[in-house]
Amino acid sequence: MDQSEADIIAGSLEAVVARVGDPAGQIFERLFAEIPQARERFARDVGGSIRGEMLAMVFDCLMDPGGPYQANIVRTERVNHDGFGTPAEEFDRFFWIVRDTCQELAGPDWTPEVARAWTAGIERIVGASR
């Protein structure tokens, strides 16, 4: 991945955190609003550590220079998720749900440059991991 694109994404996340703190709660609320059947799959995630791990992986994939490592772990997770009841199209949708939530929370900090960086980063990781 182009490092400046990763820097732009990282900067936009910092802006979100500065405005509203940890966006995890809102990201998962949006997930459960868009994909209601996903909520019960987190029943055993009482403390939120699985949700935290998922989100950390999405952010890592978008902010680290993309290479075979990220594509391979996302490919593996997509297969794992299909095995425990989350089909591939729902899995891929999560990246866009994270994007949409951050866009909403960033307000005016969500510039066209930021929007382009997120779209390009997500398309790259989703495409490379198929």
With respect to ligand HEM, which residue has the nearer C-beta, 84 or 108? 84
If DSSP codes are grouped into helix, strand and coil, which group holds residue 128?
helix
With respect to ligand HEM, which residue has the nearer C-beta, 5 or 90? 90
Q: Per CB under 6 A, does 101 bind ligand HEM?
A: no
What is the CA 56 to chain-centroid distance, rounded? Answer: 8
Site string for ligand HEM, 106-125 (x = CB under 6 A): --------------------
Per the CB < 8 A criterion, the answer to whether 42 and 94 are in contact is: no
Q: How far is the CB of 124 from ligand HEM (least distance, A)?
A: 13
Q: Per CB under 6 A, does 75 bind ligand HEM?
A: no
Q: How far is the CB of 112 from ligand HEM (least distance, A)?
A: 25
Q: Tell me phi and psi for residue 86, to 5 degrees.
A: -110, 105
| C-alpha–C-alpha distance, residues 39 and 91, integer Å | 14
Q: How far is the CB of 20 from ligand HEM (least distance, A)?
A: 22
With respect to ligand HEM, which residue has the nearer C-beta, 91 or 118? 91
Q: Tell me phi and psi for residue 51, to 5 degrees.
A: -60, -40
Q: How far is CA 98 from CA 9, 15, 27, in A?
A: 12, 15, 6
Per the CB < 8 A criterion, the answer to whether 43 and 37 are in contact is: no
For binding to ligand HEM (CB under 6 A), which residues are involved?
A: 31, 35, 38, 41-42, 44, 50, 53-54, 57-58, 61, 74, 77, 80-81, 84, 86, 90-91, 93-95
